[in-house]
Amino acid sequence: MAYQVQELAGLIRSASSVLVFTGAGMSTRSGIPDYRGPQGVWKRRQPVYLQDFLASAESRIEYWDYKLEGWAQFRDARPNPAHEALAELERLGHLDTLVTQNIDGLHVAAGNSEARVVEIHGTNRFITCMTCGRRYENEPVFTAWTADRVVPLCEEEGCSGWLKPATISFGQSLDPDILERSFEAARQADLAISIGSSLVVEPAASVPLAAKQKGASYCILNQGETAHDPICDLRIDADAADFLPRLIEALDDR
């Protein structure tokens, strides 16, 4: 591992623009299981598609019950050493854009600036109105749902749209502006680092791939195989929470 730490540190020092892409493996040490893993919610519940949420009162109740099931884990989760290391990578001036598939908000909680973090699948940090787009703090809305199980409505004058967490639901398109921002950052990068992702969920997985296709060096840090292993320049099989703090030690010249 020591050699790979130094190899990646060298790539980072040589890069003028670094894109980091993260997936569920970043947050397992924070107590958030991989959605598709052995303990994932999908094993117990069928997902509620956006079209059904909008069309059916029963589906809206099912959706909010489903989101409530994972709410305590998201509420209580704290950044782990991998998140803290990426915040330090930004502080050291070696991180330009951080694109994450995760909806847990832990990159921002760890200290990465919101201006550099792109939450491509949305975030559980807020509740959003499906009609006007107004955002709400999440905890009061979840607390109200727990108490009365009445699907929450927007309080904006003249709106009364359905509220849901500000995440991308099944059947919902990604925000085109956020998607374009992600790919533009990839096109500008000369080093892409994918961390904790199996790189199979599209179109998100194509973000670091776009950097590679434009000539950037491509490093993958993940426990287990990924879909991009055959094309990367550096492959590291390690736990991000163990590896990334060592990388920061190698980069910190203080």
Between CA 151 and CA 207 the distance in angstroms is 35
| Tokens matching residue 178 | 């956020």
Residue 148: count of CB within 10 angstroms of its CB: 9
Catalytic hit among 94, 107, 121, 228: 121
Rounded to whole angstroms, the Cα distance separating 83 from 225 reads 22
Known catalytic membership, residue 107? no
237: three-class secondary structure by DSSP: coil
Our CA dihedral for 116, 177, 228, 214, rounded to 10 degrees, sits at: -80
Rounded to whole angstroms, the Cα distance separating 53 from 80 reads: 33
Cα dihedral 233, 223, 244, 121 in deg (nearest 10)? 90
Catalytic residue numbers? Answer: 121
